[in-house]
Structure 1
Amino acid sequence: MELTDAQQQFYRENGYLVVEGVIPPAQLNALRAVVARFKDASRQVSSSDGIFDVGPGHTPDAPKLRRIKDPVEQDPAFDALMRSKVLVDIIAPLLGGTVRFDHSKLNFKPAGGKANIAWHQDWAFYPHTNDDLLAVGVMLEDCTEENGPLQVIPGSHKGPIYDHHQDGVFVGGIRDADLSDDLDKAVSLTARAGSISVHHVRTLHASSENRSDRERPLLLFSYAAVDAFPVFHTEDLAAFDARVLRGATTLAPRATGVPMRLPLPRAPGADSIFDNQAGIKAA
């Protein structure tokens, strides 16, 4: 599957895209089976660990699973999808023709639960030498207005880089009051299971509470152009180059004049967006 010229232009102008019917039903069902296995395993942990991020009050009988960390490293089904031709063909032209996998996560929004994510830009979490980065959201279940879909502000990828700090600490989010002029422009990325969303690393995005009676999982893969190198983050070169999915490796990062601010310092023990955003103060 390849994007049309119109789809590519829409992404460049708006900083996001929804592509429907990307993942076939058989593969989707296989992924759901893997997810179910991990959800069951999460009942056995009492607190967040290297695989599971769980919320306050998590118990075997009342699980509060918020995230499976690095799913690509946890099961080959996720890895195979991440590097699949269908996804790489879609995103390659949006990144200038080359693709390097960056990281993955599987976020859950439990039925009737809060688990809202405040407005933020991914760029605040992992600045690079240029901003040819994007995230693909794989909809494992239908994403509707009721179950807390990803929301974006069109065109915000061309706007300012917002400060995601408060009181000198990185909180990974922006107060609604600081975006009051833009919030009425927000668009919900809704589509049937098997569809994907794509958003630019600088696009403002968030998600609200799940008001439905069904859980809403979203599998996220982040990718970068091969010549985009992380800032203030040490990489093993062999491992870094092993993540190149399309294009040749390089030792010459492409540096552009994109403003950035390091996501430091962080609150002690904060290792996820949920922990970071717990520090956001209303005023």
Structure 2
Amino acid sequence: MIAQDDVEFYKENGYLLVKGVYTEQEVEAMRGAIDRIIHRAVEANMDRNARWGGDHTPEEELKRVVLKGYHDVQYHDSAFTLAALHPNMRAVLSRLIGPNVQLHHSKMLVKPPEVGAAFPMHQDYPYFPHESHSMMAGSVHLDDTDEENGCLHVIPGSHKQGPLEHVGRHYLNHKEYPIRMGVPCPAKAGDVLFFNYLTIHGSEVNRSGRTRRNVLFQYRDPLDRPIEDKHVNWGQGLMVCGENPVFRLYKGAH
């Protein structure tokens, strides 16, 4: 699925866009699953706006922006279990992480047309810090994305800086790290952007008339131990590639 040059690019830059990981039919299945999850959340009176607060966005704009986000979507629809274990994903992950790969968690992110909320620049590290920094996101694009509808921006090579201090452990100082500092990563539906959890990234508001839907899978080497018991769920640790070299009982802890 990827060449050695791609592996070297990822190591140097901390991200890699891989095109055509999923077929049109597989993308459509995940789109339908997202629609059904949101519908069930509304019916259960558990719908919510997952946008970030803070001074990174003017107050009046912050009041109107929206982000639909739910974690561990593989527990809600089998389309995401199949996606997380997709042969093309496994082919990439085994080259970028190694022969043994675990799923840490997943989440869906939906930026509605015209009001889809921004994500200020940040590292994912503060949310689930690990010892060896093998943690990697695979951001699955379910719509064509560009700068108009809030595609991801990354700062190449920023993963080499190590963990940085975040505002309230959520995002970096937006004056020091504005989103425009990053390189935009436009993509087509079915493409996947892989990036290390230390790579600085963010995205602008969706100002277009198009929806921007992504599903993000976080993967790690099973020997990479968490520094803190954060972002833990009862199904964590599904083996995606290879084996878990250490036998232990899984009871919902990292």
Alpha-carbon contact 1:42-1:65 (below 8 Å) kept: no
* Alignment counterpart, residue 251 of structure 1, candidates 218, 223, 246: 246
Distance in 2 (CA, whole Å) between partners of 1:213 and 1:53 is: 22
Residue equivalent to 1:158: 160
Distance 2:115 2:121 in 1: 18
Report the alpha carbon displacement of residue 248 of structure 1 after superposing the two structures with TM. 2.5
Q: Tell me, what secondary structure is at the counterpart of 1:96?
A: coil
Give the equivalent residue in structure 1 for 2:250: none
Q: Which amino acid aligns with 2:203?
A: S
CA distance in 1, matches of 2:16, 2:8: 10
In 2, are the aligned partners of 1:53 and 1:69 still within 8 Å (CA)?
no
Letter in 2 for 1:3: I
Q: Which secondary structure does the structure 1 equivalent of 2:34 belong to? A: helix
Matched, 1:68 2:70: yes
Which residue number in structure 1 is paired with residue 98 of structure 2?
A: 96
Q: Could you tell me whether the CA contact under 8 Å between 2:120 and 2:172 is conserved in 1? A: yes
**SS of structure 2 residue aligned to 1:119:** strand
The Cα offsets for residues 77-129 of structure 1, whole Å up to 9 and x where unpaired, read as 11111012210111111112221110000011111114111111011111112
Q: State the partner residue of 2:177.
A: 179
Q: CA separation in 1, counterparts of 2:39 and 2:243?
A: 40
Match of 2:209 in 1: 213
34-43 vs 100-109, which moves further? 34-43
Amino acid at match of 2:154: V
- Equivalent of residue 147 in structure 1, options 130, 135, 149: 149
Give yes or no for contact 2:137–2:217 (8 Å, CA) kept in 1: yes
Asked if the contact 2:130–2:227 (Cα under 8 Å) also holds between the matched residues in 1, the reply is yes
TM-score normalized by the length of structure 1: 0.75
Q: Which residue of 1 aligns with 2:16?
A: 17
The residue number in structure 2 matching 1:191 is 187
**Match for residue 266 of structure 1?**
none
Deviation at 1:39, TM superposition (A): 2.9
Q: Does the aligned pair in 2 maintain the 1:154–1:185 contact within 8 Å?
A: no
Secondary structure at the aligned position of 1:17 is classed as strand
- How many residues matched? 234
Structure 2 residue aligned with 1:223, among 204, 219, 226?
219
Summarize the Cα distance change of 1:45–1:118 in structure 2 as closer, same or farther, 3 Å threshold: farther
8 Å CA contact 1:111, 1:211 repeated in 2: yes
CA distance in 1, matches of 2:42, 2:235: 32
Tell me the secondary structure at the aligned position of residue 43 of structure 2. Answer: coil
Deviates more, 1:25-34 or 1:115-124: 25-34
Q: Please say if residues 37 and 76 of structure 2, whose CA atoms lie closer than 8 Å, have aligned partners that are also in contact.
A: no
Counterpart in the other structure of 2:109: 107
The amino acid across from 2:176 in the alignment is D
CA 1:81–1:114: 2 relative to 1, 3 Å = closer
Distance 1:65 1:191 in 2: 20
In 1: Cα distance, 2:236 partner to 2:44 partner: 31
State the SS of the aligned residue for 2:128: coil
| Gap change, CA 1:64 and 1:40, over 3 Å in 2 | farther
Mapped to 2, the partners of 1:244 and 1:112 lie a distance apart of 38
Percentage of pairs with the same residue: 28
Structure 1 runs (4+) deviating above 6 angstroms are none
Answering whether residue 120 of structure 2 is matched by residue 118 of structure 1, we say yes
Map of 1:235-250 to 2, 5 A cutoff? Answer: 243-250=238-245
Q: Assess if the C-alpha contact under 8 Å between 1:11 and 1:17 holds in 2.
A: yes
Residue 44 in structure 1 maps to residue 72 in structure 2: no
Instruction: Look at both structures and tell me which one has the larger radius of gyration over its CA atoms.
Output: 1
Match of 1:278 in 2: none
Deviations 1:222-244 (A, max 9, x none): 000121111221899x9555x12
The TM-score normalised by the length of structure 2 is: 0.84
Instruction: Specify the SS of the correspondent of 1:177.
Output: coil
Query: Partners in 2 of 1:164 and 1:112 — Cα distance?
Result: 28
Unpaired segments ≥5 residues, structure 2:
52-63, 248-254
Checking the alignment, whether the CA contact within 8 Å between 2:100 and 2:244 is kept in structure 1 is: no
